Chain A
Amino acid sequence: MAPSDLVPMGSIADISARLLLWSKQAVQGLARVEFSSEFSRQQVLTLLRAGLEQERIPFAEVQLPTYAEPMEVVDDLLAQLDRQASGVVSIHGFSTAFRAGIPLEEAMYALNFNRERFAERPLRQIWWMTPAFYDAAQFAMPDLMSWFNPRLRLTEAVVVEPQDLMVAESTTNIDDVRQRVAYLIQRFEQGQRAGASAADLLKFYLLPALESLAEVKAQKGLQDLTSQFEGFLSQIPALDVPDLATSLERLGRLYQIQGRYGEAEPLVQKALKLRLSLCGEDHLDSAASLNNLAALYTLQGRYSEAESLYARSLKIAERQLGVDHHNVAKSLNNLATLYTFQGRYSEAESLYIRSLGIRERQLGGDHSDVANSLNNLAALYTSQGRYSEAEPLYVRSLKIRERQLGGDHSDVAQSLNNLADLYRTQERYSEAELLHVRALAIQEQQLGADHPDVAKSLNNLANLYRMQGRYSEAEPLHVRALAIQEQQLGADHPDVAKSLNDLALLYDSEERYNEAELLYRQSLKISERQLGEDHPAVATSLNNLGKLYDSQGHYREAESLYERSLKIMENSLGIAHPDTITTRSNLASVLRKMSGQ
């Protein structure tokens, strides 16, 4: 182990070294480690396990049950501890151990009250706590908390790629939308001929038409229609109409959806200015505008500006509606999403949990907003690698959506996809397949066969088949997905880049290297252009291309691609992210091969 002077406090190396030292010193006792990143936690455990193995100290991991009654959790933990005669036990899963609806204080009380029964075991126990759990525990179970020694904090941050957080989607069929848009444009033209004001034309015809397309993610149609009315739209910001703010925001959002952030920004800013001057700072409409601008800044990666706007918006909402209002829950949710993007998982978790609590209290445990919160929290846990905690949340979210929206709603399909993706990550392929197939059927039925979400589902299923070696089943799905995306989103969309990458992976697996290389390069080009050269998606493409060269024996080319990929990943995802580790190991392997030549 490296001397601790060189090891930053709270780093993976520091915490694993301290735990190892403690394991050697004591034969019995409780250690507490606060952590945010599951990836970092796993790294600590890997190092600790290796150290303990050298010392011949037995090691076991205990995962607590999920959403159980407090005494069931206590009994389960005791039973699992009893299975170990000695050594070190790592205990994990406190934040999802207790059934929703039980006040956390009461649940922690059960732990606190049974502390002697835990502590009397001849074991060294490591209790892993998330910051949200820790914050509550210090007030709810101070006796037990005072028994922990050492008390450590794993702070090494691992930043991961922003997750696609699922929000409620439209159930509108894409073909119906096309008809509606044609009708609205017809009315627009009629109105224009009749001398209607620009503000009204925008408000009643053009915006609804554009929004309908946006709602079904018909990106290409949206882009085409926006271009068609470019001249008309460019006059809008100059209009001097008092109630223009809403239209400006709607238009801004539409530009935003198309990735035209530069054009969206002045619209959203002007909307905010109008709102502030008309309603004042302490008005809910101003809060909404602040929120919208913050969302735009978030997409632009201007996180600190976004944070201060979200915070202002949240404060107004809390002042005007009280801290327990469901609109406050929405603001909390948005801020949590921002924190997730920044990798500030602990802060995100605590806000998501607060938001979820408000929604459960105000809307009941069976509301679709609650399902959204559960889904977002599950996505956060998934991005932290806390898969076992994510699963019950996804399941609960799915059940609520099925009950509230019906079994064939597109939100249900999203939940099925999310859960299937989680199962795929855990290599539970057969469970994943069933869910993907069901999701795809719902989406085709509800959204139309050409909807971009259908393309995503086709890709998901194809990736699953590839992982199982079912190549011939995978290819037609990929090809169909790609065709839908190029048609609906345009050939230069980041989703197309992702699909190209996925198809290349399939060709790579089939040793169709030339075809794979072509697609990897195409994907890389789109990602670099659309997302910037330092985006994790670019790093993924570089790594995959490197692997392709590697497997063909072109080590020099592979080395340079791996190096570039690794640099991006270390900067954007952190050194402990699984993708970073994979690339690092790829690089090491190719260097070994080169030195052996």
Chain B
Amino acid sequence: MDIPGPKLQTTPATILEDVYKTLRPEPLQKPEELTAFYKAALNETRGGDQMKRLRLGLSRAYGDVVPFKACLMGHPGVGKSTELSRLIVEIEPEFQTIRFSATSVLDPVNFRPLDVLLIMMIEVAEQTAKLVGTPPSASCLRKIWDWFAVETSSRTMQSESKAGVEAGAGVKSDSLWAQVLGLFANLKGEIRFASAREDKVVEYRLSRLDDLIEAVNELLDECTRLLQTLNRQEWLFIGEDFDKPRMDPKRVSELFITYGNIFQDLRTHLIFSVPIALYYSVGASQLPFSPSCSFIIPDTPVYTQDHLPNEQGREAIRTVLAARMNLDLFEDDQVTQFIVASGGNLRDLFTLVSYAADSAILREADKISANDALGAINNLRSDYKRRLGQSPFSPDPVPYSEKVTLLQQIYAGREDGQITNPAMYSLLGTRAVQEFNGKRWFGVHPLVVDILKEQGHLQEDAEGGTL
């Protein structure tokens, strides 16, 4: 589901009253949105267009027996989802995409690797039936049905869950397909509320994982054949949001490392978002994606590593903003103030400008002033400050003093500050630290530079903060 709010307006806002309609924080998804707002300049400043590489890999795999499998990484708010939307549009002639968000279909804390496989199985079966008009063959369905049938005596479904469970495709007859749809509907509910599931069910299923992979592969083969016959397309799975902070890192690691074979064994194309912390961890070598198929979208720099203005990065962001609103709506050169304070992160940029636009409207002005900018920056800086604190729920909490030391090292560009560890993951996850391309370097977010200066952890005249 989209982030709730007004519909995205795809023409640039020319008055402040329309700014909230164009500066929506959600990723661009529809072709018309991409046409209106997507700017290639951004990728040029951050080391090239990774989607081009993904597209190349996919086109080579199209029609081949070896499917394309890749992972995509990037820190929150860099635009991964928008980039994937763009990719989906571009590859549409050859690929039909099944796109799902881990935080929507899975139980982020209690999910198990098998759940991902089950989701893929359910989606491909249901979507093929919807597109082609006929369900997969009875022999295929029977294998799936039988796989679950043998566990009915040992599993107890949670009946007390009060949240709604999505219905299947609504077939009323008592056919095998109807029965399988019923099973799928139950499974979806069970997967979303995995905390209520009995452990013995999970363990029992995992012990028979190979059988299920085989059954799913047969299903995938058949669904691909049906789709190719219909419109010469192949299925591509895109699994997103496995890198969201809410996803339990232990479960994500179990999925991609302990049970990485699921991804290797499945006979389908797939692109999954993987947490960048996992990619930098010692277990990275066991990830099921080869280094040449692992892509990182870095942040857009507004400063160089030496804390000098990065004009190319700033200009690229200005271009993006200009596509969404008339820059004459800012007084003097306030735009640069916003661009720098956003640290190159578009989501933050839109939050800042929306807040300031509201301030200007409330004082009955038609342009955003320096004071409006200051208010917006103070508001966002306060969020950053709060996020620097220690998570009360972290199993491995990092004290603030440790974070400060690391931030100072990163700011100073010291080599030992470039080593990824729990403190670094925590800072990257909250965007206090950003990762940039080129020779790959980390930098401190301008708002965090302000905070460190204010707290006396950086010198008063330190560069790299807001203007």
B305 contacts the other chain (CB 8 A): no
Q: Is the CB of B20 within 8 A of A25?
A: yes
Nearest 5 A/B pairs, CB to CB: A3-B363, A4-B362, A139-B391, A119-B4, A4-B363
- Choose among A71, A112, A139, A147 the residue that contacts B3 (Cβ–Cβ < 8 A): A147
- Residue of A with least CB distance to B17: A25
Q: Is the CB of B5 within 8 A of A28?
A: yes
Q: Is the CB of A147 within 8 A of B4?
A: yes
B104 contacts the other chain (CB 8 A): yes
Q: Is the CB of B4 within 8 A of A3?
A: no
Chain A residues in 8 Å Cβ range of B360: 4
- Choose among B108, B379, B387 the residue that contacts A138 (Cβ–Cβ < 8 A): B387
- Choose among A21, A109, A116 the residue that contacts B1 (Cβ–Cβ < 8 A): A116
- Residue of B with least CB distance to A357: B392
A140 contacts the other chain (CB 8 A): yes
Mark A7-50 against chain B: 1 for CB-CB distance below 8 A, else 0. Answer: 10100001001100110011111100000000000000000000
What size tier do the contact residues of chain A reach? 35 or more
B53 to A: closest C-beta gap in Å = 28
Interface residue total, chain B, C-beta cutoff 8 A: 43
**A114 in contact with B362 given A119-B4, A149-B351 (CB within 8 Å):** no
The complex places the Cα of A420 from the Cα of B1 at a distance, in Å, of 47
- Choose among A28, A74, A104 the residue that contacts B4 (Cβ–Cβ < 8 A): A28
The complex places the Cα of A329 from the Cα of B167 at a distance, in Å, of 50
Q: Is the CB of A105 within 8 A of B393?
A: yes
Chain B residues in 8 Å Cβ range of A26: 5-6, 20
The complex places the Cα of A1 from the Cα of B246 at a distance, in Å, of 40
| B residues lining the A interface (CB < 8 Å) | 1, 3-6, 20, 25, 103-104, 107-109, 161-164, 192, 244-246, 351, 354-355, 358-364, 371, 375, 378-379, 382-383, 386-387, 389, 391-394
Q: Is the CB of B392 within 8 A of A3?
A: no
Chain B residues in 8 Å Cβ range of A25: 6, 20
- Residue of B with least CB distance to A1: B362
Chain A residues in 8 Å Cβ range of B379: 9, 151-153
Q: Is the CB of B6 within 8 A of A27?
A: yes
Q: Is the CB of B163 within 8 A of A71?
A: yes
The complex places the Cα of A136 from the Cα of B386 at a distance, in Å, of 10
Chain A residues in 8 Å Cβ range of B358: 18, 21-22, 150
Q: Is the CB of A138 within 8 A of B386?
A: yes
Q: Is the CB of A5 within 8 A of B371?
A: yes
- Choose among B4, B6, B104 the residue that contacts A30 (Cβ–Cβ < 8 A): B4
The complex places the Cα of A3 from the Cα of B104 at a distance, in Å, of 42
A142 contacts the other chain (CB 8 A): yes
A356 to B: closest C-beta gap in Å = 14
Q: Is the CB of A142 within 8 A of B244?
A: yes
A368 to B: closest C-beta gap in Å = 26
A590 contacts the other chain (CB 8 A): no
A222 contacts the other chain (CB 8 A): no
Chain A residues in 8 Å Cβ range of B162: 71, 74-75
A141 contacts the other chain (CB 8 A): yes
Q: Is the CB of B25 within 8 A of A149?
A: yes
B255 to A: closest C-beta gap in Å = 18
The complex places the Cα of A74 from the Cα of B355 at a distance, in Å, of 30
**A5 in contact with B6 given A25-B20, A135-B386, A150-B354 (CB within 8 Å):** no
Q: Is the CB of B245 within 8 A of A139?
A: yes
- Choose among A7, A17, A28, A135 the residue that contacts B389 (Cβ–Cβ < 8 A): A135
Chain A residues in 8 Å Cβ range of B3: 119, 146-147, 149
The complex places the Cα of A104 from the Cα of B162 at a distance, in Å, of 19
- Choose among A28, A74, A116, A134 the residue that contacts B104 (Cβ–Cβ < 8 A): A116
Residue of A9, A114, A141 with most partner-chain B CB within 10 A: A9
Can you report 10 A-B residue pairs in the complex whose CB atoms are below 8 A from each other? A25-B20, A71-B163, A105-B392, A114-B163, A117-B164, A138-B386, A143-B103, A147-B3, A150-B358, A152-B379
- Residue of B with least CB distance to A13: B362
A230 contacts the other chain (CB 8 A): no
Contacts A4-B360, A153-B379 known; 5 new A-B pairs at CB < 8 A: A3-B363, A71-B162, A139-B245, A139-B391, A139-B393
- Residue of B with least CB distance to A147: B3
Mark A150-168 against chain B: 1 for CB-CB distance below 8 A, else 0. Answer: 1111000000000000000
Chain B residues in 8 Å Cβ range of A104: 392
A120 contacts the other chain (CB 8 A): yes
Chain A residues in 8 Å Cβ range of B394: 139
The complex places the Cα of A105 from the Cα of B378 at a distance, in Å, of 28
Q: Is the CB of B245 within 8 A of A151?
A: no
Chain A residues in 8 Å Cβ range of B362: 1, 3-4, 7, 14, 17-18, 21
- Residue of B with least CB distance to A110: B163
Q: Is the CB of B104 within 8 A of A29?
A: no
- Residue of A with least CB distance to B360: A4
The complex places the Cα of A141 from the Cα of B247 at a distance, in Å, of 10
The complex places the Cα of A27 from the Cα of B383 at a distance, in Å, of 26
Mark A72-86 against chain B: 1 for CB-CB distance below 8 A, else 0. Answer: 001100000000000
The complex places the Cα of A5 from the Cα of B3 at a distance, in Å, of 30
The complex places the Cα of A9 from the Cα of B379 at a distance, in Å, of 9
Chain A residues in 8 Å Cβ range of B245: 139, 142
Residue of A29, A105, A119, A143 with most partner-chain B CB within 10 A: A143
Residue of A25, A27, A116, A151 with most partner-chain B CB within 10 A: A25
Chain A residues in 8 Å Cβ range of B164: 117
Q: Is the CB of B4 within 8 A of A136?
A: no
Q: Is the CB of B364 within 8 A of A3?
A: yes
A41 to B: closest C-beta gap in Å = 18
Mark A87-117 against chain B: 1 for CB-CB distance below 8 A, else 0. Answer: 0000000000000000011000100111011
Q: Is the CB of B363 within 8 A of A29?
A: no
